[in-house]
Amino acid sequence: MSEAILDPAAFAHLLEITGDDLEFVDELVDTYFDDAVVQLEAMRQAADSGDAEALVRPAHSLKSSSANVGASALAEACRSLEADGRAEVVPDFAGRVADCEAAFAAVRSALLAERASR
Amino acid sequence: MIGGRVLVVDDTAFNRRLLVRLLTSIGHETLEAENGREALALLRDPAVAPVDVILLDIVMPEMDGYETLEVLKADPQLRDLPVIVITGVDELTSVVRCIQMGAADYLPKTVDPEILRARIEASMSAKRLHDLERETLEQQRRLLATIDRQRSELARFLSPQVAALVSSDDGEAMLAGHRREITAMFCDLRNFTSFSEAAEPEEVLGFLRAYHGVMGPLIVEHEGTLEHFAGDGFMTFFNDPVLQPDHAARAVGLAVAMRERFADLGALWRKRGYVLEIGVGIATGYATLGRIGFEGRYDYGAVGHAIILAARLSGEAAAGEILIAPRTYAAAEEAIEVQPAGDRQLKGFSRPIPVYAVSAMRTKELAE
């Protein structure tokens, strides 16, 4: 598990608060994947149409769920996009959304790798 | 603490699942909504059992947390439900705004089960306390409504002043007995005894109903305290339990109004062959007032020299005459027109008493 992609402490916290219920954590992570796909799609559409306001909500949601699964770098990227979206000035809009997509792909691989490693 | 029902409002399935899981593990039941609109629909659905606490996300599609809070706080049925706002660490300004809008508390998005447990329990205790308070207020309201109903029922049997006194704060002390200057008025009818012997009982009762129907409202209008009706006679007094600085003039005013109103009634019965006339006696002086009678049947009554004098004067009065005692005349002099009616030797009084017969109210003449 790469620490830059997935924060082991945050993931451990998730395990701990669910009472080390791995089955539930797996379900939760799958839910995260489903949510993230929807939110990234909305962010992509916002970038395509240059709609800063439409970026705020999906970036906000992806930020909080990413933080909870330990995807700290993705959470931080989303936080900064959300803030810029609110300010209605989003420098490098499309590029940064593409970065989030790439970051999510990495998080997904890392989480699936973690699951496979048990 | 027993578990409550918690409504989780968040657009992200991940957050809802995590919160629901944590809440269930600490013994709460949960309901879920994806946004404010859904949440309100659930809260207002009579088929859905009421919830104890709402966990509310702020950034949501359709209806966000602020709008939801606003609607909740404007709804009398829902405004007391505690709302805990779920926020990210970087959203403290929105927390402040939510608390100003009436949110009970907030939770960070990176949930800690212990903090979640503590906040939910605190909010539930506050709500239970609030529910209890509301219940107590409701009981109090019902109690007051009952007292009000009793008071208005009581007013049908007692003088309105006495009914009000019974339910007032100093009622007990007043009922126990007190001394005060009052003006007492006795009224009865000339020839009533012969009428009641000659007429059919139904006629007598019919007459009394009409007579009481005319006199009763006049007493209420002049705010006299009616002690009792006994056949053709009744006694009313003024300045108690409600203070009336013009009590002497008021009593005379009532007597004059009664004499005027009785004229029509008397004329009606004269056509049927019965000559009935009103006679009134009025006296002013100190009396002892309070509860008089026995357990099971009490009257609010007056005892004193003035009452006996008023009764004697009413006995002395000729048809249509209003006789008043010197002290009443002295007190009401400005307001009334009188003729001296001589010094009368009355039963139970050692010396003759100068008596006055009232011809009219002066204030009324001036006004005309």
Confidence of residue B90 (pLDDT cuts 50, 70, 90): low
Which of A10, A35, A57 is facing B14, going by the closest CB pair? Answer: A35
What's the pLDDT tens digit per position in B261-290? 999 899 988 898 888 999 999 999 999 988
> What's residue B165's pLDDT?
76
Which of A24, A35, A56 is facing B12, going by the closest CB pair? Answer: A35
Cβ contact B110–A63 (<8 Å): no
What are the extents of the domains in chain B? Answer: 5-137, 169-367
Percent of chain B past pLDDT 70, that is, above it, reads 95
Judge contact between B18 and A28, C-beta under 8 A.
yes
How many angstroms separate the CA of residue A92 from the nearest CA in chain B? 23
Rounded Cα distance, B162 and B153, in Å? 12
Cβ contact B17–A68 (<8 Å): no
Rounded Cα distance, A101 and B5, in Å? 38
Cα nearest neighbour of B61 on chain A = A57
Contacts 24+ apart (CB under 8 A), A14-17: A14/A68, A14/A69, A14/A70, A17/B22, A17/B111, A17/B112, A17/B113
- Any idea which architecture B5-137 has in CATH? 3-Layer(aba) Sandwich (3.40)
Least trusted range by pLDDT, from B73-77, B85-89, B94-98: B85-89
> What's residue B156's pLDDT?
64
> What's residue B157's pLDDT?
65
Least trusted range by pLDDT, from A15-19, A107-111, B211-215, B297-301: B297-301
Q: Domains of chain A (ranges plus CATH)?
A: 8-116 (1.20.120.160)
Please give the class, per CATH, of domain B169-367. alpha beta
Cβ contact B113–A17 (<8 Å): yes
Query: Is the model's pLDDT at B368 over the cut of 50?
Result: no
Write down the mean pLDDT value for chain A: 90
Which of B15, B59, B112 is facing A65, going by the closest CB pair? Answer: B15
How many angstroms separate the CA of residue A64 from the nearest CA in chain B? 7
Confidence of residue B99 (pLDDT cuts 50, 70, 90): confident
b/e code A70-106 from CB counts within 10 Å (16+ = b): bbbbbbebbbebbebbeeeebeebeebbeebbebbeb
What's the pLDDT tens digit per position in A40-97? 999 999 999 999 999 999 999 899 889 888 898 999 999 999 999 999 998 999 999 9
Write down the mean pLDDT value for chain B: 87
Q: Give Cβ neighbours of residue B67 (< 8 Å, ≥ 6 apart).
A: B36
> What's residue B367's pLDDT?
43
Confidence of residue A1 (pLDDT cuts 50, 70, 90): very low
Cβ contact B14–A24 (<8 Å): no
Distance of CA B325 to the CA centre of its chain: 37
Tell me the mean pLDDT in the region B189-207: 88
The answer, for A61 touching chain B at a CB cutoff of 8 Å, is yes
ipTM > 0.95, yes or no: no
Judge contact between B304 and B285, C-beta under 8 A.
yes
Q: Which residue has the higher pLDDT, B313 or B88?
A: B313
Cβ contact A67–B109 (<8 Å): yes
What's the pLDDT tens digit per position in B142-188? 888 888 887 777 666 667 777 777 777 777 777 788 899 999 999 99
How many angstroms separate the CA of residue A95 from the nearest CA in chain B? 24
The answer, for A45 touching chain B at a CB cutoff of 8 Å, is no
DSSP A56-80: HHHHHHHHHHHHHHT-HHHHHHHHH
Q: A interface mutation test: which of B10, B11, B12 has the most A CBs within 10 A?
A: B12
The answer, for A102 touching chain B at a CB cutoff of 8 Å, is no
Q: What is the token pair recorded at A14?
A: 């998730």
